[in-house]
Structures are given as structure tokens and as C-alpha cells.
Structure 1
Amino acid sequence: MTEKIVFIPGVGEVLMKKSARAKRVNIKVAPFKGVQVSVPQRVTFANAEKLVLQKKDWLLKHLPKMEQMEDKLTEFTPQTQYRTFNHELVFIAQEDTELRAKANQTELQIIYPPNTDFHSLDTQHFIRHCIIETYRREAKFFLPQRVKELATAHQFKYRSVHIKNAKTRWGSCSYDNKINLNLHLMRVPEHLRDYVILHELCHTVVKNHSKAFWDLLDKVSGDARGLDKELNDWQIEVF
């Protein structure tokens, strides 16, 4: 058996899966996926369930947060109006086809058979995956160019720019000045996108968040603390 579903009072169904990569029992709470547990091959489901029960208070604390996030997420249907940075989401009903996607320069097309259940998790996951990959392509085209422009304007030097789909961080800068930027920056307003880029460029000069760093960031951004506070209103995984 590679997976097992157990019911825990107060928590509900918990999906436990055997994982060859897991080194320890890992418990995760995710929107629309619920509680999922990665179980190392050497650990029995019974022992993993005991650990989940020990973490019940932690789960009861985090499940309401997950439900709040679910309420904020868009349910994508043919009636949904949604636009990425430069692609319009378009739904096209078509006979004799599977659910699939196609993108051109201006549209992300979701092509679906008439009997598609848009309330199903599989359908929503597919559409979200397509949207995220569209943001990724847009980010790879736009963000490196914008980093170059801002670095030139403020005389920063960096090695490279990489686009990531990080869960918690908008960006990062390595010790050797390689900059990582989150593809979800394509969702935020331009001034906040520039703020994150400037934040990471400042780390090419100051590697910590000392007063010297914030003074430099304030100098190049105009209002570092205010922009940072505004950015905190955006949640990376909520769209």
C-alpha cells in the first residue's frame, strides 16, 4: 500500500502517502488538498498516524487559515474574467476534446468539453497550473530586463536573474549576487514589483537587513518601509 486515508475527529480526512524522498514524516496543510502526510518508506502508516495525532492542536490552529485562503481563491469557470500580465483568460467549449490549454501572444485559452465539471479540484488545479506557467513565461521575459534597467539606473552590479515559483518569498539574493525573483511578481502593481527588485539589488551591496541596508533601500525606492508594508498585503499563493 502506497497511500492511506485516515479520519481524525475534529480534523477530518488525512491523506498519508509513502515517499521514497521523505526522510521524516512531513505534515502539510494546503488549500483544496487538505491535510497531506509524506511518510518515509521505513515508517509504518500506524506510526505516522500517531505523529499526526500528536500534532492535532497544530492542525486545528492551521486548518481555519487554510479555509480562509480557500475562500479568497478564485474559482475559475467560463464566466470568470481574469487577466495575467499580458494574457486574457479565455474559455472555449469544444466537442470531442480533452481539457487542454493553448496560449498565443494575447490569450491563454482553456479548451474544454461541454461536460467539464469546473467545481472539481482536478479542473481547478489544471487551470491554475496553466495560469502559473503563463506568469512564468511572462516573468522570464519581463523581469530580467527590468532588473537590468533598475541596476543601471542606480549603479548596482549583479551576476544573473532566475525566476522561481517560491511559496513564501518574493525574491532573494545569493552571496555571489545571483538574484531570484518570484514569478508571482507579475501579479503585483508595478511600483511593488520595482520595490522587490530594488530590495534584492540592495542586497548586492549589503547582505543583511541592518540600518545600512534600509537606508540604502529607502534612498533608491523613496519609501522602503511604506512599500514593504504595502507588499505585506499581497499573498503569494492567493489569486
Structure 2
Amino acid sequence: MKPNSHNAISTTSVKDHDLPAYTVRISDRAKYVSLSLSMETGLEVVIPCNYDHRKIPELIQQKREWIARNQRKLHEREAFLQSQDPHLLPDSLNLRSLQQQWQIEYIPTASKGIQIKENKSISKLMISGNVNDIHACKFFLKKWLMKLAEGHICSRLKQVSKRINLPYNSVTIRSQKTLWGSCSGKKNISLNYKLLFLEPHVVDYVLIHELCHTVYMNHSDQFWRLVSKFQPQYKEIDKSLNQAWKIVPAWLEP
């Protein structure tokens, strides 16, 4: 849940033998310096336009422990995903956020394409066509999940926003490897469709977290005080998110 609050003007990759490799992103929206770490972008330092670049190495040095801890988490996740077989198609979907368990039946036919039909009364998906095409089956399953998330998660965000009285501008459902959600400076929220696999109270925490970024575009003490106002147990839930990816099926990864 990284606050995507910055409009980048330029990006520079930096290598220093004494420091971890990192990328500097200059933003005209950034008011503070922020660090983020992901499998997609690596270590990124976002700085305001008028920030003194010479201070960055010292900042990286001060954050070495945080960087090392989060790099270990990313490596652990990468190792876990590599140990799974992404080529196996699922026979069920445990959608915890909806408290639904969907069964999947694959029906081979002469058709070269793939078709998905759902029977909501028994929570069953029937996938027919060239079901030996694993890539196509995964593509249409992901498409079905995205559509489901656009209905359920967007609706839930609207409810939570109204309850805690923190409005947002728009919401988009996306597929992201390491982020559960993000919020822009224009109060546009992006949410990961894989939230469908998390428990309802964890999903609500992610929504609260991003809605609080509409007020504070950082992780300052003020931000966390606002989060705690709406979710007093945020520390425990936030910690559980570090392992939440283990319950997201490996076949969903690209």
C-alpha cells in the first residue's frame, strides 16, 4: 500500500558500491522524501524538486535496516512463488473477502476459444472450449476475477468512505504484484483485484489506509493517528499483510 502521490518529472538510477542500488524520482507533487521497495521498481527514492541530492546517500544509510528487512521479505516472497507451479489450473477459488468458495469445472470441447459460465446458486464456474490452453484459461479466469472485484471491492470502498467520511475522486481495479492499493495526489485510488482472496477485515483495513492517504500523502505520525481512529488494531493487521500474499494463488502471477 504505497501512496502513489507523486507526479514524476525525471528518474535517475544510482549505483554506489557502499549503498544498495536505488532510483531517484524527482516529483513536483512531493512535499517529503519517501522510500519504497518493490519487485517491480526495486528501491526508489522520491524527492521534492528543491531537495538537495547530496543528502540522499546519508538517508539511504540511515534506512539500511529498513531496506534490508524489506528486501528479505521480497526475496522470501519470490522464493515462495518460484516453489509453486504456476502452470497448474485451479479447481476452486477461495474468495475470503466475499466468504465464497467457487468450484471450477473444465469442459473440453471442439471450440478453439474459451468460454466461462457461472452458476451463482451453487458457486460454480464452468470453463469450456480448448481447456488444454492453460494460458487462455488463466487469462479468462483473471478477467472474471477483475470484473468481480470491480463490483465488490469498489462498492465496499464506497461504503467505507461514507462511513469514515473521507471522500475520494475515483477508483480503479488493477493487477499488481506487490501493492494492495495506492492513492494519488488527486485522490484517485487504485486497488489490487487480489484483495478478493483476503479476509473482509483485512480488505477494509487496506481501504481505510488508502482513504487516509487522501488526507496525508505520507506515512507520518499524523497519518497513522488518523488510521488508528478508524482501525485501532491497524498494527496487527498491517503486520499480517506481510504474509497475506501466501494465500493468493501462485497461478495469478504473470
Normalised by the length of structure 1, the TM-score is 0.62
The amino acid of 2:170's aligned partner reads S
1:232 counterpart residue number: 242
Alignment of 1:154-233 (within 5 A): 154-233=164-243
- Pick closer, same or farther for the CA change 1:64–1:151 going to 2, 3 Å: closer
2:89 counterpart residue number: 76
SS in 2 for 1:193: helix
| Deviation (angstroms), 1:97 | 3.1
| Deviation (angstroms), 1:76 | 1.9
* Alignment gaps of 5+ in structure 1: 1-28, 31-61
1:131 counterpart residue number: 141
- Pick closer, same or farther for the CA change 1:161–1:91 going to 2, 3 Å: same
1:108 counterpart residue number: 125
- Greater gyration radius: 1
SS in 1 for 2:182: strand
Provide the rounded CA distance (Å) in 1 between the counterparts of 2:82 and 2:154. Answer: 32
SS in 2 for 1:82: strand
Provide the rounded CA distance (Å) in 1 between the counterparts of 2:235 and 2:94. Answer: 29
1:23 counterpart residue number: none
Q: Residues 149-171 of structure 1, C-alpha deviation per residue, up to 9 Å, x if partnerless? A: 11111111111111111122110
Greater relative contact order (Cα 8 A, min sep 6): structure 1 or 2? 2
2:163 counterpart residue number: 153
The amino acid of 2:126's aligned partner reads Q
The amino acid of 2:127's aligned partner reads I
| Deviation (angstroms), 1:142 | 1.1
SS in 1 for 2:204: helix
Aligned length: 171
RMSD of aligned C-alpha atoms?
3.0
Provide the rounded CA distance (Å) in 2 between the counterparts of 1:172 and 1:145. Answer: 17
* Alignment gaps of 5+ in structure 2: 1-38, 41-73
Normalised by the length of structure 2, the TM-score is 0.58
